[in-house]
Amino acid sequence: MADYIQYQVKLTTISPLHIGSGRVLLQDYDYAVKKGYTWRLNEDTLLDAQQVEDPRVLQKLMSSPPGHLLGEQDFTDQNPFFRYFIRGIPRSDQTGAELREQLKNSLDQPFIPGSSIKGALRTILAWKIAQLTKLDPARMELDRKREWAARNVERKLLVDPNARRGHEPNYDLLRSLQVSDSLPLPASCLTLINVTVLNRGGTAGAPIELEAIKPDTTFTLTIKVDTALFSQWARRMGLNLPHTDLLTKLPEVINERARIQVNQEFDWYQKINGAQRVAEFYQQLQQAQLGSNRALIQVGWGAGWHNKTLDNVLTINARFMDTIIRDYRMSRGNRHSGDPFPKSRRVVVLTQKQPDGRTLATLVRPLGWLLVELEV
């Protein structure tokens, strides 16, 4: 019998997905807007085409926005001046307006990095193990630095207790889980979205503009579970569990966490004025047909605090939550003990010009929800 299980995985976006490259694109420097499309500039090709021999003139050209060199006739889909183009235009038409870039490979093809999926699975598994071991975070010493606050909790949940300091990665549960990058897709799967920060009072901040992967886009990747390595880890952690209880029944574990999160989000949005469409989205997720090979997971930018923490394992102890929110300055403004946390969400907003010139903004969907389908 093999000591590993390999899943062939299909990931289908249910809502727009943004996994950032870390770069902010600037209008007329990195992209141009024309004919209802956003055109990603190939700056080197565009400058080379100017055929300027005088170094002073060339220097002047290079100091100007490359997009200003384009004429109406240049905006065609086969023109090498453009790396790719996306249907839709940003809200601002000002030079220097910002657009956050989606992660892509060297050929400008979007993909989902295995690290994004593995990071989400790591949080879900830590959450499940915290329940199985009845972990009480309030009894653990947290690091004073905010970025390392959960280090001791994570070590307690995921790392062999016999591991020496500095050697934790060699004794970590996630050594037994390998997730490949997805196969890339053409840039035509991209769209432009506006995202706003919505608070409990129903007020929203200024929209942030992003490249994102469209809903109903399917990627494929592989997940490999080393069952022998996991069994060794479970014994050392003192978990009297066969490996089938966690890693080989991955969809059930993912869905257990997802159902709690979906219900929480539905309850939150249905109380917010103007967020009916987002609440309806979560209502549809509540009715999704899931099972032993189908699961829901949220990843990427905008997935929020719930997806990156132990969530209800922490919030069940209101006094402990009040303490860490205060000590790590996780909330702005006035907050009363026991108030729900977090108090805001990132939401996709649809903006439409009205006949009278006003702009109507409608909250439509959260970010980053995927349908995961696994086949052994």
Q: 313 or 178, which is more confident? A: 178
What does the mean pLDDT of the chain come to? 86
Q: How far apart are CA 374 and CA 222, in angstroms?
A: 9
In this structure, of 164-168, 294-298, 302-306, the range with the lowest mean pLDDT score is 164-168
**Mean pLDDT within 242-253:** 69
Q: How far apart are CA 102 and CA 192, in angstroms?
A: 10
Q: Which of 201, 209, 213, 164 is nearest to 12 (CA)?
A: 213
Angle in degrees, CA 251, 345, 153, rounded to 5: 55
SS (H, E, C) the chain: CCCEEEEEEEEEECCCECCEEEEEEEECCCEEEECCEEEEECHHHHHHCCCCCCHHHHHHHHCCCHHHHCCHHHCCCCCCCEEEEEECCCCCCCCCCEEEEECECCCCCECCCHHHHHHHHHHHHHHHHHHHCCCCHHHCCCCCCHHHCCHHHHHHHHECCCCCCCCHHHHEHHHHEEECCCCCCCHHHEEEEEEEEEECCCCECCCEEEEEECCCCEEEEEEEEEHHHHHHHHHHCCCCCCHHHCHHHHHHHHHHHHHHHHHHHHHHHCCCCCCHHHHHHHHHHHCCCCECCEEEEECCCCCCHHHHCCCHHHHCCHHHHHHHHHHCCCCCCCCCCCCCCCCEEEEEEEEEECCCCCEEEEEEECCCEEEEEEEC
37 token code pair: 């499309």
Q: Which of 205, 212, 195 is nearest to 304 (CA)?
A: 195
Q: For the whole model, what pTM was predicted?
A: 0.89
Q: How far apart are CA 99 and CA 38, in angstroms?
A: 10
For 199, residues 6+ apart whose C-beta sits below 8 A from its C-beta are: 343, 344
Q: Using pLDDT thresholds of 50, 70 and 90, give the confidence band for residue 241.
A: very low
For 58, residues 6+ apart whose C-beta sits below 8 A from its C-beta are: 47, 50, 52
Please check the confidence at residue 353 and state whether its pLDDT lies above 80. Answer: no
Tokens 């090709």 correspond to 45
Q: How far apart are CA 299 and CA 112, in angstroms?
A: 10
pLDDT tens string 2-30: 688 899 999 999 999 999 999 999 999 99
Q: How far apart are CA 155 and CA 162, in angstroms?
A: 11
For 355, list phi and psi in degrees, rounded to 5.
Answer: -55, -30
For 302, list phi and psi in degrees, rounded to 5.
Answer: 90, 0
294 token code pair: 């189908």
258 token code pair: 């997802």
Q: How far apart are CA 31 and CA 100, in angstroms?
A: 11
Amino acid at 212: A
What's residue 267's pLDDT? 95
In this structure, of 186-195, 265-274, 326-335, 343-352, the range with the lowest mean pLDDT score is 326-335
Q: Using pLDDT thresholds of 50, 70 and 90, give the confidence band for residue 85.
A: very high
For 81, residues 6+ apart whose C-beta sits below 8 A from its C-beta are: 41, 42, 45, 46, 49, 70, 74
Angle in degrees, CA 87, 112, 259, rounded to 5: 100
In this structure, of 52-61, 124-133, 292-301, 317-326, the range with the lowest mean pLDDT score is 52-61
Q: How far apart are CA 34 and CA 68, in angstroms?
A: 12
Give percent of the chain above pLDDT 70.
91
